[in-house]
Chain A
């Protein structure tokens, strides 16, 4: 039984977003700036 489950373990890899994507999101969050003026919100990205 163990053999049957073990042969194609590679095909059962779990789906997970890549570390690069997570890194991008964290960088995006750091660079995002929201400013408010006269009741309106403005987004800006500071790189």
Chain B
């Protein structure tokens, strides 16, 4: 039985429901078709993708009953693959793919600035721990620290609002930070993100 007749017999069997016939067809032309695609695209992953898409088209056409090139299966499959290769090059010229090398990786330079969910949770935990610690400070120091850190007020504004000089406000802020550090050290608290 020559190759062409064998293909048409396999196709006939596949159309009538024999899935094994498809497996034989794929295996039979696997190497030839893959080598053809690889010779054009020179990339194993893309070869694999185009090979897959080619056979998806083959399967659909055979199952729809629209295949009418009896005896010329391989040239037909090659033509489908050829068209898909052209599509691939059209797409990649519109949207060139950038591949990093061992010495340069674009993802080392760009990234998502947002915190991931784990870091977000840690940050929320730290913020709430810090609130409890700030609450432990003497009232005058707490007041200055809250105005400076949480309300983003300048020391001039803090001084005006609390009725003290700028130097006193600065001093209270300094002691607030020193005392916060003390509380953290004494209680072995770890505030890291």
Contact = CB atoms under 8 A, between A and B. Distances in A.
Interface of A: 14-18, 21-22, 24-26, 28-30, 32, 34, 41, 43
- Centre residue among A15, A28, A43 by max chain B CB count within 10 A: A15
Which range holds the interface residue count of chain B?
20 to 34
Interface of B: 19, 22-23, 26-27, 30-31, 33-35, 37-38, 44, 47-48, 51-52, 55-56, 59-60, 63-64
A28 B19 contact: no
In the complex, the 5 A-B pairs of residues with the closest C-beta atoms, listed nearest first: A15-B38, A17-B51, A15-B34, A25-B55, A15-B35
A34 B34 CA distance: 28
A21 B60 CA distance: 16
A34 B52 contact: no
A16 B37 CA distance: 10
Contacts, number: 53
B52 A25 contact: yes
Contact of B30 (A16, A24, A26, A30): A16
A28 B51 contact: no
